[in-house]
Structure 1
Amino acid sequence: MPPEVVARLDLQLDIPWAAVFLPNGTAVVSERDSALLKAVRDGRATTIGQVPGVAPGGEGGLLGLALSPGFPSDNYLYLYFTSAQDNRIARLKLTEQPDGSLDLGAPEVVFSGIPKASTHNGGRIRFGPDGFLYVGTGDSQRREQPQDRNALGGKILRLTPEGDPAPGNPFGNAVYSLGHRNVQGLAWDSAGRLWSSEFGPDVNDELNLIEPGANYGWPAVTGAPHRDGYRDAKVVWPSTADSSPSGLEIAGSTAYLGALRGQRLWTVSLSGEEAGAPVAYFTREYGRIRDVIRTPGGGFWLLTNNKNPDFVLVLAPPG
């Protein structure tokens, strides 16, 4: 069955970038430029607070969110944001008060030094099935970084919850995979395989199957050129006008990708390590789609990025 819109939540959001759902069903949304965290409950949005230390500019600001796997006991919310010096990851306590409101603790920076720029800041963070934090970074307009195993730009990183390089990483540092231009989505399939979405330049947006230590080619190659030493993308959109894939979610055997310039939702059928031809829905009906988030009920949220103001589309669970 095609994706079905069951509700539109006009929450007066301002450039929302990511969202996570707490165990009680409340959604927490990041706003890129305002650096505000907002709570959405019962179709209404309220401001939790502003994250200190965020220095928005261009594509930088308050970006990805990830909920600690141990949230019921540790109350940690992880954030990826642009500071005055770099892109960094912090965690803070998010505590529910007796009146149901949420209180923000002071951020604790657990990882820093990710290069920043006006564009290509990456920003997606997610905890994997192994309990480690995966981080998508951009090349920050420094084309030498993605091929440098010791640089943080143009990578997928794998960290412990405390921000140390995860044990078993392929190069003995924080780097998990390299050769990326600007990673925007991370998700795992039912077999525990990691997939990522990535912006190409003016051509060759990508959906990649990520292997530890693999090199995805940027800036030497893009797409799937079958060049020795580089890993081909599983799906390639030849024109970024059709895609610019951002947030990524996987349900069952289907990947769901929000498209910014393409202003649509893409679905891709997955079969083991292979991916089928992408299929588009809602083309130019709702504008730019920044993120796709699985809801506790099995449906999806789509966050728009249209600045006029933005809203959330609620999709029914896949049939």
Structure 2
Amino acid sequence: MRLTVASTVVTGLEVPWGVAFLPDKSALVTERDAGKIVRVAGGRVTEVGSVDGVKASSEGGLLGIAVDPGYPGKPYVYVYYSSGSDNRIARITYQDGKLSDQQVILDGIPEAAIHNGGRLRFGPDGFLYAGTGDGSDRPNSQDDNSLGGKILRITTDGEAAPGNPDGRVWITKGHRNVQGLTFDGNQLYAAEFGQSTWDELNVITPGANYGWPAAEGISRLDGMTDPIAQWPTADASPSGITFAKGYIFMAGLRGQRLWAIPVAGGKRIGEPKAFFTQQYGRLRTVELAPDGSLWLTTSNTDGRGGPRPGDDRILRVTISTS
């Protein structure tokens, strides 16, 4: 497999975090610190509005975004953001290029300067999945009454989706900080920040316990589910992931590279391979675009990187498997 940066989609973004495509093939992008959403189309960036109540911090602010699968008949986008007291998921009407009628559908997700999670992804079942962090309080991850350190599965009204274990809004626990979610068919995968030793790529099974804080990486602990791949934190520190052509693509922040992990049937079937190592700085989000390419965002303006002229940017990456 070969990955090529074919072009730069746009430059001049400020801490881009979430990317979600609309039916017209344009994309909505969240800017973490400014609390703004911009539309990217035809190489142009247009602000469509701000999300109310966003309070940015070291890792908090306006994070993930997802477009309703029924759009435009259901003209809604969903955002995950830090409020200063908790992390929340809101539904916002998006019509005629503008945001309106923001409604919080779920709150009470633990918040701190770090470990806020934040990725949103609609599944093929039509329900909304969210990755959360432990809110810098480790016991949250194992606490059944906390939304911290979990993967949530909810309706578009913020209720527990039918079929969730024990009728809870979350389907898995024992996570430290989930910022990557993607599906291969019906199979969900999640990327997770490690503490100081191992970052993880996990295959998600409803009801499973992924071990944090007792486990970091492959630990073989009774009752805990191990990752299918792990990396030293200096090589990854993963955020966004997406699936395409038999691979999970995983963006690395501290690792400053894009990982490609071959998977099939919920298993890893080969060794991960790194691309673009230290060429573009910190990499935050990767999404499969409507044309089959990958959109890859840098995150050099987030306070932990070294911004280069034009940062932050979205790169268009083509995939060749021949």
Match of 1:270 in 2: 263
The answer to whether the 8 A contact 1:199-1:244 is kept is yes
Tell me the equivalent position of 2:235. 242
Question: Does the 8 A contact of 1:247 with 1:258 survive in 2?
Answer: yes
**Aligned match of 2:285:** 291
CA contact (8 A) 2:2 2:319 kept: no
Any unmatched runs of 5+ in structure 2?
A: 302-306
Structure 1 residue aligned with 2:211, among 189, 214, 217? 217
Please tell me the residue identity of whatever aligns with 1:87: N
**Does residue 194 in structure 1 map to residue 188 in structure 2?**
yes
Match of 2:314 in 1: 312
The equivalent of 1:178 in structure 2 is: 173
- Contact 1:12–1:310 (CA<8 Å) still a contact in 2? yes
8 Å CA contact retained: 1:149, 1:171: no
Secondary structure of residue in 2 paired with 1:28: strand
Task: State the shift of 1:210 in Å.
Answer: 0.4
- CA–CA distance in structure 2, aligned partners of residues 179 and 61 of structure 1: 23
1:124 to 101, 119, 123: 119
Asked whether the 8 Å contact 2:10–2:45 carries over to 1, the reply is no
Tell me what 1:252 maps to: 245
Question: What is the Cα deviation at residue 134 of structure 1?
Answer: 0.6
Counterparts of residues 92-111 of structure 1 (less than 5 Å): 92-96=92-96, 102-111=97-106
Counterpart AA for 1:282:
F
Q: What TM-score, normalized by structure 1, do the two folds share?
A: 0.96
Q: Which residue of 2 aligns with 1:3?
A: 3
The alpha-carbon deviation at position 317 of structure 1 amounts to: 4.2
Q: Is the 8 A contact 2:200 2:229 kept in 1?
A: yes
Q: Deviations over 1:58-80 (max 9, x none)?
A: 10000000111111201100000
Looking at structure 2, the residues matched to 88 and 117 of structure 1 have their Cα atoms a distance apart, in angstroms, of 13
* 1:231 is aligned to 2:225: yes
- Is the 2:151–2:173 contact (alpha carbons within 8 Å) kept by the matching residues of 1? yes
State the Cα deviation string for residues 95-154 of structure 1 (Å, max 9, x = none).
Answer: 12xxxxx11112111000001000000000111011111110000111111111221000
8 Å CA contact retained: 1:29, 1:38: yes
Segment drifting more, 27-36 vs 265-274: 265-274
Moved >6 Å (runs of 4+): none
For 1:10 and 1:188, locate their aligned partners in 2 and report how far apart those are by CA, in whole Å. Answer: 26
Matched, 1:281 2:275: yes
For residues 204 and 317 of structure 1, the distance between their equivalents in structure 2, rounded to whole angstroms, comes to 28
Q: Tell me by how many angstroms 1:318 deviates.
A: 4.2
- Paired residue for 1:73? 73
Query: How far has the Cα of 1:171 moved from its partner?
Result: 2.5
Alignment partner, residue 304 of structure 2: none
Tell me how far apart the structure 2 counterparts of residues 106 and 53 of structure 1 sit (CA, whole Å).
13
Give the aligned partner of residue 55 of structure 1.
Answer: 55
Deviations 1:237-257 (A, max 9, x none): 1x2010001100001311100
What is the aligned partner in structure 2 of residue 30 from structure 1? 30
* Structural RMSD (CA): 1.0
SS at match of 1:4: strand
- How many residues are matched? 312
Shift of 1:25: 1.4
Residue 27 of structure 1 deviates from its aligned partner by 1.0
**Amino acid aligned to 1:297:** D
Give the whole-Å Cα distance in 1 for the aligned partners of 2:248 and 2:79.
24
* Cα pair 1:186 1:248 within 8 Å, conserved: yes
State the identity %.
48
TM-score (norm 2): 0.95
Q: Unaligned regions of 5+ residues in structure 1, if any?
A: 97-101
Contact 1:11–1:44 (8 Å) recurs in 2 = no
Q: Distance in 1 between matches of 2:84 and 2:215?
A: 32
Shift of 1:172: 1.8
Aligned in 2, Cα 1:291/1:196: closer, same or farther, shift over 3 Å?
same
Q: What one-letter code is carried by the residue in structure 2 that aligns with 1:33?
A: D
Query: C-alpha separation between the residues in 2 aligned to 1:85 and 1:221?
Result: 28
Secondary structure of the equivalent of 2:166?
Answer: coil
